[in-house]
Structure 1
Amino acid sequence: MLKDDHSMKDVKARAGEALRRALEKVPVLQIEGIEPEAVSGDWEPDLIARLLVNGQRHLLICEYKSNGQPRYARSALLELRNYIAERAPEATPVFIAPYISPAVRRLCEEKDVSYLDLEGNARIAFGSVFIERMVADKPVAEQRELKSLFRPKSAQVLRVMLREPGRAWRVTELSTISGVSLGHVSNVRTGLINREWARASEDGLVLSEPDALLDAWRDSYTAPPGERLRFYTHLHGSTFEDAARTALRADDAPRRAAFASFSAAQWLSPYGRTGTHYFFADEDGLRKLQAALKLAPATKGENVVITVPKDTGLFADTIEPAPGAVCTSPVQTYLDLTIAGERGAEAADHLRKEKLSWPQ
């Protein structure tokens, strides 16, 4: 239930208006009233809508949550179903929130609970009444929240967790390994738990839905900011490969450069060759690659592309499947392939099946 009296009345009014607008479009239905319930010691719904449908009375029992993430939705659905079972078995439960994601919509349908959000998504079904409306765009606040979960600092935490998705992590461990502050790790933890992509166990934080997390990351992923440089080299075949591996072999930590995108995929899960070689490198790594591969700047006809990313955390998440073959991790390689056009999408799907399949 909502705690603050003033804000409670305000959001109940907004939720009631949204519900009224949805119901008014149904010709067979008359709205007798949509009333907020008084707060008492016991759980009570936030709104009760009293309706006449073809002359028959019907109740909608509604619960509003200011956060529609799965963690909060699940508790609201349980409260609604318990109330209906004990107090109003003929009524229809309705979950209302500012925004209800597709995952939570599916959860509502599984639990046989109708839903409505303030963005305009709705599915209200009872008797002869069926209202369904989908709005294509995520609200700005939801997009912003998701973006923040995948920004470089947060991404460093996610990469660590996805390396060992079955492991339970203490916040302090994640902070130490990822090099990210305790406060930031705690924010990531909250975001993952709210979306039910992770759960808190006695031993720590465990990824419960790594696939759903990776899907969301893929859907909001954009190329890492940085300078994208194009070069031409006359080296090819094993001569190029040997020179690249020599340059990438890092006797001194930290890593300075790595195969990326299609070039990393060739080592991790070969799918199809391209004529262009891809790398991430910092300034030192760039100089080593330029010297080792005899690179000349190219305005067209390039066969080597090196990105100098602003996010140096990418170099902390590399693997070396063969000596000197330093590659971006399977997760990073997968994400980069998904934005590399049609052939990239195919290579990404292949890599995911081979390297990023987790037990359900």
Structure 2
Amino acid sequence: MLKDANPMKNAETHAGEALRGLLEKIPILQVKGIDTEAVSSDWAPDLIVQLLVDGRPHQLVCEYKSNGQPRYARSALLELLNYVAHRAPRATPVFIAPYISPAVRQLCEEKGVGYLDLAGNARIAFGGVFIERMVADKPAAQQRELKSLFRPKSAQVLRAMLREPGRAWRVTELSETSGVSLGHVSNVRTGLIDREWAHTSGDGLVLSAPNALLDAWRDSYTTPTGERLGFYTPLHGSTLETAARSALRADSGPGRAAFASFSAAQWLSPYARTGTHYFFADDEGLRKLQAALKLSPSSKGENVIITVPKDSGLLADTVEPAPGAVCTSPVQTYLDLSIAGERGAEAADHLRQERLSWPQ
């Protein structure tokens, strides 16, 4: 039973109940009690589970964290392992959190620590007992938290960092470069550090896992919000290319536009041509492209797709591999290709190998 003399916080109570519910489903296990350690100056686990395993006593020592991100999980695992090594060598350490990501689950397995999250994922092994349960969906709160890291304002910070993944950034520098407020940059900084995608050095914030960051961004990426317009152009080949580059040049007048998706990839890392040409543009940039490419609206047979995105940062994050060939950045092009069907995924993989390869 949970000791009434030292009641746990609500979250820890739920953790104890979830653990009990999991263990009681195993026929050879009998839960004799779930106790909390008395408060002391020394570190102690939040829960100690007294078990009978087919009649033999066994202990689980458990640490609960309200945040299961790698930054917090790693310290909890170290404390658990230290406690077991010095005070309960025959016990099994278990990490508990509201949600434990696949990366943290792998870390637990590598360290020999069991885990349980309140979403239903679990892996606990000791003696002849092996419990493993996987839940397909992330909790809604976790999905919202991750998506917030890739929303337009945050994405401007991430794109700046991924352009120079080895650079150490001060918060003020990131704010100035990305055009995002100091407070928002600080939130992104916290999110990156919590997931161990970045770390702090004496010189500032440095990406430590750009590949993991880009993987997570790709997996949660959706089509940018905005107006998607289909047109037909009678221009082809080098004539179309020359006209487009003339319209995209910075000195061609007000308005911004850029090659995007497959069209940007042809300049950044050629892989497979398509019969359709893709652009991002603001309203003035759209008018320039309409005039330069002799575009006419088309509900069928469109060969030019122009997206006018709500996120102006997409048009600020561009590269120019050749005069006038203004393209969405390699990161943005990769993300757009990744959701463009099977051929897009193949082109995205090629682009990543050529332009977005960083040391693991």
TM-score (norm 2): 0.97
Question: Is residue 227 of structure 1 aligned with residue 215 of structure 2?
Answer: no
Tell me, what secondary structure is at the counterpart of 2:95?
A: strand
Alignment of 1:58-69 (within 5 A): 58-69=58-69
The answer as to 2:271 corresponding to 1:271 is: yes
Q: Describe the superposition over 1:20-48 as per-residue Cα deviations: whole angstroms up to 9, x where unpaired.
A: 01101111111111112222111110000
- Residue in 2 that maps onto 1:187: 187
Question: Which amino acid is the alignment partner of residue 64 of structure 1?
Answer: Y
Q: Is the 8 A contact 2:254 2:284 kept in 1?
A: no
The alpha-carbon deviation at position 255 of structure 1 amounts to 6.4
SS in 2 for 1:359: coil
* Superposed displacement of residue 359, structure 1: 1.6
The answer on 1:291 being equivalent to 2:297 is: no
Superposed counterparts of 1:240-259, under 5 Å: 240-251=240-251, 256-259=256-259
How far apart in 1 are the matches of 2:268 and 2:332? Answer: 12
- Please say which of residues 5-14 and 21-30 is displaced more in the overlay: 5-14
| SS of alignment partner, residue 93 of structure 1 | strand
Residue in structure 2 matched with residue 39 of structure 1 by the alignment: 39
Structure 2 counterpart of 1:260: 260
Aligned length, in residue pairs: 356
Q: Is the 8 A contact 2:246 2:252 kept in 1?
A: no
**CA distance in structure 2 between the partners assigned to 1:324 and 1:287 by the alignment:** 17
Assess, with a 3 A threshold, how the Cα gap between structure 1 residues 202 and 6 changes in structure 2: closer, same or farther: farther
Matches within 5 A, 1:126-141: 126-141=126-141
Change in CA separation of 1:266 and 1:6 when aligned onto 2, cut-off 3 Å: farther
Q: Tell me by how many angstroms 1:6 deviates.
A: 10
Q: 1:300 to 1:18 in 2, by over 3 A?
A: same
Aligned pair 1:11/2:15, yes or no?
Answer: no
What residue is the counterpart of 2:166 in the other structure?
Answer: 166
The structure 1 segments of at least 4 consecutive aligned residues displaced by more than 6 Å after TM superposition are 252-255
Question: Which string of whole-angstrom CA distances, capped at 9 and with x for unpartnered residues, describes residues 135-183 of structure 1?
Answer: 0000000000011000000000000000000110000000000000000
Q: What amino acid is the match of 2:147?
A: K
Equivalence map 1:91-130=2 (5 Å)? 91-130=91-130
Aligned in 2, Cα 1:6/1:266: closer, same or farther, shift over 3 Å? farther
Identity of aligned residues (%): 81
2 CA distance for matches of 1:253 and 1:217? 34
After superposition, the C-alpha distances for 1:58-98 in whole angstroms (9 at most, x for unaligned) are: 00000000000000000000000000011000000000000
Corresponding residue of 2:55:
55
Taking the aligned partners of 2:254 and 2:30, their CA distance within structure 1 comes to: 69
> In structure 2, the residue corresponding to 1:130 is in which secondary structure?
strand
Q: Secondary structure at the match of 1:311?
A: coil
* Contact map agreement 2:65 2:72 (CA 8 A) in 1: yes
Uncovered stretches (5+) of structure 2, i.e. residues with no partner: none
Alpha-carbon distance between aligned partners in 2 of 1:85 and 1:258, rounded to the nearest angstrom: 59
Instruction: Give deviations 1:231-286, integer Å, cap 9, x for gaps.
Output: 00000000000000000011279860000000000000000000000000000000
Query: Which residue of 1 is the match for residue 352 of structure 2?
Result: 352
Task: Output the TM-score relative to the length of structure 1.
Answer: 0.97
The aligned amino acid for 1:83 is: Y
Amino acid at match of 2:69: Q
CA distance in 1, matches of 2:86, 2:251: 68
Q: Does 1:210 align with 2:217?
A: no
SS in 2 for 1:73: helix
SS at match of 2:9: helix
CA distance, structure 1, for counterparts of residue 207 and residue 293 of structure 2: 41
SS of the aligned residue for 1:104 comes to: helix
State the partner residue of 1:239: 239
Cα offset, 1:9, TM superposition: 2.3
Aligned partners of 2:255 and 2:283 also within 8 Å:
no
Shift of residue 223, structure 1, vs aligned partner: 0.7
Q: Where in structure 1 are there 5+ consecutive unaligned residues?
A: none
Deviation of 1:315 after TM superposition, in Å, equals: 1.1
Q: Is the 8 A contact 2:6 2:36 kept in 1?
A: no
Is the contact between residue 337 and residue 344 of structure 2 (CA under 8 Å) also seen in structure 1?
Answer: yes
**CA–CA distance in structure 2, aligned partners of residues 7 and 240 of structure 1:** 73
Alpha carbons of structure 1 residues 255 and 154: separation in structure 2 relative to 1, 3 Å:
farther
Structure 2 CA distance, aligned partners of 1:239 and 1:39? 77
Give distance in 1, aligned partners of 2:190 and 2:90.
Answer: 37
Contact 1:62–1:93 at 8 Å: present in 2 too? yes
The whole-number CA distance in structure 2 between the counterparts of 1:73 and 1:79 is: 10
On the 8 A contact 1:257/1:282 being kept in 2, the answer is: yes
Equivalence for 2:152: 152
SS of equivalent to 1:251: helix
AA aligned opposite 1:210: P
